[in-house]
Amino acid sequence: MIGALMLDIAGTELTQEDIELLQAPQVGGMILFARNIESPQQVRALTDQMRQVRPDILIAVDQEGGRVQRLRQGFTLLPAMGRLGEHYLENPQQAIELAEQCGWLMATEVLAVGIDFSFAPVLDLNDVSDVIGDRGFAKNMQDIVPLADAFMRGMKKAGMATTGKHFPGHGSVKADSHVAAAIDSRSYQEIYDKDMQSFIKLMPQLDALMPAHVIYDQVDPNPAGFSPFWLQTILRQELKFDGVLFSDDLSMQAACVAGGADARIQAALSAGCDMGLVCNDRDAACTALDGIQKLALPNQQRLERMRGKIPNIQIGTTLTLDDENWHNVRKVIEEFKNSF
């Protein structure tokens, strides 16, 4: 059974405390960060060990491309998605092909080391937000949709579920929700017409969504990830979204409006999230775990859709796959990166 808490570990292998936490029924996921990564071989050994302890665990990572990719040493470094958006203005068809290849390559390498899925792609506008910036494909929905659709098509071809973030849109908010309260004072109609459209149009391709730690104060007083209005009224009822809802990291500064870690995860789950992330703070993770001990386990059928098609292969210290397509796509992506 898959629990409702996703947490992290400090190092490159499991400690006894990590093992005990992994065995807790309400722990359902593990997210890896750069500090957990030494080589592809080490990552695969770590994820295999996690599954020996907890066979049903879901393992995730942020591997978007550009400045947000945790798997670096021994892996292919992907361009920022904003570079694809720039190329789209010059050569739309080639940019779409590159986006699909990036999605496939990212997913293939992540799955090879035993990780189920990456929290990708970013569907926010590349607008005023510094924390989003070129993590977003483009400045408008018309350019985002074909590129993100192709990227997710590549992910699915490799056997990976997709996660769109950060609903209903973080790109129009200047503040960085990692370190500050982020408030968007536009009307619902403005948000719907501008930021939400990429999420709505791509919903058939989305297996999961991550709501933004942003307060849209003309719509609801709570950050979107703590808001029954955004998660249940809008996403579940109006937009009929039946995928997984992951909270963004509940240790981020913008989430602190809900109180302690136990209050935050309770708020996220009661609002409609299926799984809450508590990262980079072990004490907070333990507090959150204590806070949900008596809650029912989340929707298992929904969460099972996030399980990746992980190959049964041996991985070396540098990732080299016995796959001609992998070699060819890597070469194409490297040539594209070298062109700017």
- The pLDDT tens digits of the residues spanning 306-337 come to 999 999 999 988 899 989 999 999 999 999 99
Model confidence at 252, pLDDT cuts 50, 70, 90, reads low
**DSSP SS3 for 197:** helix
Domain hosting residue 204, numbered range: 3-336
**Strand spans (E) along 81-158:** 117-118
Q: How many domains does the chain have?
A: 1
Cβ atoms 26, 269 nearer than 8 A: no
Give the pLDDT score at 318: 86
> Has 62 been labeled as part of a binding site?
yes
Annotated catalytic residues are 178, 248
pTM for the full model?
0.96
Closest CA to 303 of 44, 61, 56: 56
Q: What is the pLDDT averaged over residues 245-253? A: 83
> 104 and 152 in contact (C-beta within 8 Å)?
no
- Mean pLDDT for 117-136 is 93
Tens of pLDDT, residue by residue over 69-113, are: 999 999 999 999 999 999 999 999 999 999 999 999 999 999 999
Is residue 255 pLDDT above 60, yes or no? no
Within 145-268, strands assigned E span: 163-167, 182-184, 208-211, 214-216, 244-249
Q: Is 135 flagged in the annotation as binding?
A: yes
User: Given a cut of 80, is residue 179 above it in pLDDT?
Assistant: no
166 is in an annotated binding site: yes
CB distance 142 to 85 below 8 Å: no
Rg of the chain (C-alpha set): 19
How many whole angstroms separate alpha carbon 202 and alpha carbon 254? 27
Tokens of 289: 């775990």
Contact predicate 4/299, CB 8 Å? no
| pLDDT tens track for 138-165 | 999 999 999 999 999 999 999 999 999 9
CATH of the domain at 159: 3.20.20.300
The predicted-structure confidence for 204-234, as pLDDT tens digits, reads as follows 999 999 999 899 999 999 999 999 999 999 9
